[in-house]
Every structure is written in structure tokens, then in C-alpha cells.
Amino acid sequence: MSSTLKPDLVCPAGNLPALKAAVDNGADCVYIGFRDGTNARNFAGLNFDANATREGVRYAHAAGAKVLVALNTYPKTDNWQRWEDAVDMSAALGVDAIIMADLGLLQYAAEKHPQLRRHLSVQGSATHYEAINFYQEQFGISRAVLPRVLSLAQVEHVQKHTSVEIEVFGFGSLCVMVEGRCALSAYVTGESPNTCGVCSPAKAVQWQKTGAGLESRLNGVLIDRYADHENAAYPTLCKGRFKVGDETYYAIEEPASLNTLSLLPELMRMGISAIKIEGRQRSTAYVAQVTRVWRQAIDTCHRAPDSYVVQGAWMTELNKVAEGQQHTLGAYHRPWK
């Protein structure tokens, strides 16, 4: 048995069946959101009310797993109360930690419920250890989730200079513009993750079959046009195909899923505390499949990091659920950084 820290596997759940699937398939933690704009996946019909949260916490705790609640959007002056209520409700329901980005909310939670663990959300966009240590000093955060824009070397640099637990994204759709700092969705639709809890809201999305192919539009703006054999992707502006000069291509980011299975030994060697799976908007089948694969991979790597290899079967399973059905190491793999 290796002596390295075994990172927590942190899995998404948009509803109770997904939470149960995550727990049943070996998640150490499941992260959820309430049914309003207090989290960054505020989609119609998704998420947890008080009863579902209570049942989820009961189910997870019975299996030795934890429940984390994302309250990671930014309140405005006229609706601050809703965020305070969400913090109080999390504490009352006995969840294990709350994930936040807003400074006022972090302060409120630290004062009102000091015993409840606080995590810094990826929406807080902390990309360097000075920021993370500041959050620790001011608000006593226990963990920080790093944006999906850092290279491995940068992740290690952060990890080395802080005692705050570091959580990184391991799998799922990519969000390439330093998450919380992205204004692309707001630019086209007036709503963004930080303001309304949603990137590219469904009400602004149109899918249409045309003679030229399947078109996706966001508030009327053509995002992509897929030929019959091409895989579709979420219609976010960052993953649109644009005409630049004479060429039409994915000028910002290819629609692909982040998959860091091959980086596991490296992440564990660095002492990363947790690996996060993206996708609270996905269904139970996705959560079950992805959790199962990552549980096996983390256990295998922890047992024998030196002989760890990514198994073909794991990749096949993950390929089935990938956005764009291809994989990338994202920013982690930028050797020149």
C-alpha cells in the first residue's frame, strides 16, 4: 500500500437518484445544489429541495459518504436573503460542507456557522496560492477548487504553498475562461453562471435541422452547425465554430471532455486532496458510469502508483458519455508553462 494521500472522489448529483448512484458506485463526496439561483446549475427541474437534501444526507452518511452543497453564485443587493437562507438551511440539514464564492457569503457562513466546513468554489476563480491563503485567513476555508485553466506545474505550485486542501477537476465538460470570470454567456444571453447560476440558459437555445446541417443558436447567434456524422456539444459561446479570416473553426476551444485519468499518479504524488467530476446537469446513468470508473482508477493508482496504467475499458466507458465524444487533458498538459 502506498503512503500517499488518497484523494476524495467528488461526484455531481442533480437529483436524488443521481446522488444515490454516486454513493452506490463509490463516491466519497457528492455535491448538490438547491432549486434556485444560489448555485451555478440553476436548470428547470434540476436540484434539491429540503426534503430531497435531508434524504440525500441520510443516504450518503449511512454509506460513509459526504454531501457538499454548492452555494456558488453571487448574490445581488435585492436577493441577498436567499443566499443567507441557503447557508442556514445547509447547516440545519446537516450537510458536510458548503461551497461558496462570494466574499460576503463566506463571511456570513464563517460567523454564523463556524463549525460547518467552507470550500472555495471554482467560481471564486482563485488561480494562485496568495488568493487561496487569503481566503483561509479571512474565512477559514478548508478546501479550494481550482479553475480548469491551470497547467499541472501551476497546480503543483499552488499545492506546495498552501495548507488549504486542493481540489481539481478530473472529468467532464470544460469551462475554459477561468470559470467565474467568464462573461461570454452574459454577453449573448444576459445571464451567466455568476449572475443567474447558468451558462447559456436553455431558454436562449435553439436547435434546428436545416439543409446545411443541425444548427445550434444562442439567442439567435449561430454557435455551430453539425454535419450528420458530427457529434454535437453544449451550445456555449466558448465552444462555437467561428469564421476567423478565411477559416471556420473552433477558435476558442474544441468541444471535448476533460479526462485526466492518465494524470492520476502525478496528481496523487502532488498530494491533491480531491478530484471533482463535472456534471450536475447530467443523468443518473452518467453519474453511475463515471463514478464507477474513477473509483476503480483512484483505488488502483493508490495501491500501486508506479505500475498504474489507464485501462482501455475505463476509456471506453468514459467515451460513451463525453461531450463531443473526445477527450483532452485541457490546460493541465501545457509542458511549456
Which residue reads 480548469 in cell numbers? 148
Output the smallest distance, CB 91 to other proteins, in A.
24
Alpha-carbon distance 179 to 175, whole Å? 6
Alpha helices, DSSP H only, in 64-117? 80-92, 103-112
Alpha-carbon distance 285 to 321, whole Å? 9
Q: State phi, psi for 48 to the nearest 5 degrees.
A: -115, 135
Output the smallest distance, CB 41 to ligand SF4, in A.
12
Contact between 236 and ligand SF4 (CB under 6 A)?
Answer: yes
- What are all long-range contacts of 245-251, with beta carbons under 8 Å and residues at least 24 apart? none
Which C-beta is closer to ligand SF4: that of 143 or that of 148?
148
Contact 101, 119 (CB under 8 A): no
Q: How many residues does the chain have?
A: 337
Which C-beta is closer to ligand SF4: that of 28 or that of 323?
323
Interface with other proteins (CB under 8 A): 14-18, 43-46, 201-203, 205-209, 214, 226, 228, 230-233, 281-286, 288-289, 320-325
The option from other proteins, ligand SF4, none interacting with 185 (CB < 5 to 8 A, set by class) reads ligand SF4
Which residue from 170, 193, 265, 330 is in contact with ligand SF4, where contact means CB under 6 A?
Answer: 193
CA dihedral sign of residues 281, 202, 49, 144:
positive
Contact between 184 and ligand SF4 (CB under 6 A)?
Answer: yes
- Whole-angstrom Cα Rg for the chain: 19
The option from ligand SF4, other proteins, none interacting with 320 (CB < 5 to 8 A, set by class) reads other proteins
Which residue from 237, 256, 264, 331 is in contact with ligand SF4, where contact means CB under 6 A?
Answer: 237
Contact between 175 and ligand SF4 (CB under 6 A)?
Answer: yes
The option from other proteins, ligand SF4, none interacting with 12 (CB < 5 to 8 A, set by class) reads none
* Residue among 101, 257, 232, 285 at smallest CA distance from 170: 257
* Chain residues in the site for ligand SF4 (CB under 6 A): 175-177, 182, 184-185, 193, 199, 236-238
